[in-house]
Chains A and B, each alone.
Chain A
Amino acid sequence: MKILVINNDGGGFADYVEVTEGTTVHELFDQQIRSPYPENYLIRVNRQPVPADQVLREGDRVSFTPTKIEGA
């Protein structure tokens, strides 16, 4: 199924990705971000905070935003 992933880490990008049915938010995070520290990210599905074990659905909009972004 296709979902929109918005990765606000680094350069940031927004793109559709194909994920298997039953993929949870946590699993998607591991695939996309590959960080061992999910607590360092604000994770939103359809603009809402969700639990990590929430199962994703077709057309969901998932965003990952780091909590720490250093200014200059």
Chain B
Amino acid sequence: MNEHQRNALRAAVLIRELLVQAKPEGPNTESTALAWEECRRLARRITMAARRGWHLAARQLREQLAYAVSTCRRSLENLAGQLDPIGHPSTVPSERELHEDILALEEEFDDTEICLKGKTLSVTTDSIILEGVNLGRFEIVLGWQSRTDWDAYKVVALDPNPAASDSETTHPHVQSDDLCEGDGKVVIRRALGEGRLVDFFVLVRQVLQTYNPGSAYVALDEWNAIRCKDCDALVSEDYHYACDRCGSDVCSECSDQCAECGAWCCSECVSICGGCHDRYCGECLNRCDDCGEPSCQHCLQACPHCAKLFCATCMSACEKCHQSFCQECLDYDQCPKCRKANEEEARPAEEAAPAMAGAARAFSRATLQPLRLGEAVVRA
């Protein structure tokens, strides 16, 4: 016996201990109830199909009902057998049966791993390819640390190719390593409960290999679709853009092109110029130094005095030179240069005014009362 066979035997012993502890005391009616419910569901559908005149569908449903009834009958017989254990298979397999099951996994799967320390038994599937989408290999991990672990097996993507819109969805029917068993729920649970390991792993594999488009976490035709950051719609690969500024994914409807540099941007990275109302990206848009309004370079003017940039609304013309300046640089509607010029013009008149006053006074004195006969004030 090689190491793998010895590990398989040890695992079989431990798993049987778990199953024996978890064996229900009373008869299990769950599968019978589910089988009966299936019969009722089909019967309702037959009634509906017949009422609508869908005779072909009704005939097919009757065939399904016939099969469901036979399954239900067997389930009832099995239930009866639980009351009489003689002549019916035990719900707890022997160590030999478990050992044979574990060894048989190697025939069904490429890779089988027994971890005695971690108390897990796992198998690896081939790459799962559904409708042309390669989802990679999956590892089905069954733990036997507790009954809770036993029931909560995991399906782990080994070569993840998750849905573009949800990284936790690695398969249309697997999310966060949990398989949504759908039609396989009853039969998988039954295989687990009865310790039929090969059946359990094969059943899970068959669910992974089957695509149910009507009930997938993410449909395969939207597998590579992404959500537009702005409108939240799902967009296929061919019709989405990455914002040239922030890298976010947006659809063609929500992306705008910068009127200056031509970059394609999402709604957060593009703004409207307050002057010309065209759309610009953040790199091509500035703000008025006064009011803060976003404006393109064409709509902003530099104040000739302070050299800051202002929108047209925040600039006014000097009443003298008629050039446009910002409000701060204008003083009484005059630019600094014109104001200074004005001041200089006014200064000689002010300086001349006292001399003139003195001269005027002197002239007055002279005319009224000359200093001496023949003397007069001589101006310098």
B184 touches A71 (CB 8 A): yes
- Check B133 for interface membership: any CB of A closer than 8 A: no
Do the beta carbons of A11 and B183 come within 8 Å of each other?
Answer: no
Q: Which residues on A sit within 8 Å (CB–CB) of B203?
A: 8, 65, 69
In the bound complex, do residue A71 and residue B212 qualify as a contact, i.e. CB atoms below 8 Å apart?
A: yes
- Most chain A beta-carbon neighbours within 10 Å: one of B81, B181, B184, B215: B184
Q: Are B89 and A72 in contact (CB under 8 A)?
A: no
Q: Is there a chain A Cβ closer than 8 Å to B49's Cβ?
A: no
Report B63-78 residues with CB < 8 Å from chain A CB.
Answer: 67-68, 70-72, 74-75, 77-78
Q: A13-B78, A47-B107, A48-B107 are in contact. Are A70 and B31 (CB under 8 A)?
A: no
Q: How far is the CB of B209 from chain A (nearest CB, A)?
A: 7
Contact count A vs B, C-beta below 8 Å: 114
Which chain A residues numbered 33 to 72 have a C-beta less than 8 Å away from chain B? 34, 42, 44, 47-48, 63, 65-72
> From residue B175, how far is it (CB to closest CB) to chain A in Å?
11
**A71 and B187 form a contact (CB under 8 A):** no
Q: Chain B residues with Cβ under 8 A from A63's Cβ? A: 198-199
Most buried by B among A4, A14, A42, A67: A14
CB of B162 within 8 Å of the partner chain: no
CA distance A47 to B71 in the complex (A): 22
Give the complex CA separation of A10 and B181 in angstroms: 13
> Which residue of the partner chain, among A11, A13, A14, A47, contacts B198 with CB atoms under 8 Å?
A47
Residues of B within 8 A of A7 (CB): 71, 74
- Distance from B362 Cβ to chain A, minimum over Cβ atoms (Å): 117
Kindly identify which residue among A4, A6, A13, A16 contacts B71, using a CB–CB cutoff of 8 Å.
A13
Contact A70 B182 (CB under 8 A): yes
Is A9 in contact with B182, judged by CB distance below 8 angstroms? no
Q: Note all chain A residues with C-beta closer than 8 A to B348.
A: none
Is B353's beta carbon under 8 Å from chain A? no
B100 to chain A, nearest CB (A): 7
CA distance A67 to B67 in the complex (A): 17
Known: A15-B77, A47-B101. A69 touches B186 (CB 8 A): no
What separation, in Å, do the CA atoms of A65 and B210 have in the docked complex?
Answer: 13
Q: Please tell me if the beta carbons of A69 and B206 are within 8 angstroms of each other in the complex.
A: yes
**Residues of chain B with a CB closer than 8 A to A71's CB:** 172-173, 179-184, 207-208, 210, 212, 215-216
Instruction: Please measure, in the bound complex, the distance between the C-alpha atom of A14 and the C-alpha atom of B172, giving whole angstroms.
Output: 30
Determine the residue in chain A with the shortest Cβ distance to B190.
Answer: A12
Known: A48-B107, A69-B183. A11 touches B210 (CB 8 A): no
Q: Are B191 and A8 in contact (CB under 8 A)?
A: yes
- Measured between alpha carbons, how far is A7 from B35 in the docked complex, in Å? 13
Find out whether the CB atom of A4 lies under 8 angstroms from the CB atom of B212. Answer: no
One of A6, A47, A68 near B206 (C-beta < 8 A):
A68
Chain A neighbourhood of B199, CB < 8 A: 6, 8, 63, 65
Within 8 A of A (CB), among B141-182: 172-173, 179-182
CA distance A48 to B180 in the complex (A): 28
- Contact code string B26-37 (vs A, CB < 8 Å = 1, else 0): 000001001100
Supply 22 A–B pairs (Cβ within 8 Å), ascending by A. A10-B186, A11-B186, A14-B196, A16-B87, A34-B70, A47-B100, A47-B198, A48-B104, A65-B203, A66-B206, A67-B210, A68-B206, A68-B209, A69-B182, A69-B207, A70-B183, A70-B207, A71-B172, A71-B182, A71-B216, A72-B173, A72-B212
Task: Apart from A15-B78, A71-B172, list 7 A-B contacts with CB within 8 A.
Answer: A11-B34, A11-B75, A15-B74, A15-B89, A47-B198, A70-B184, A71-B208
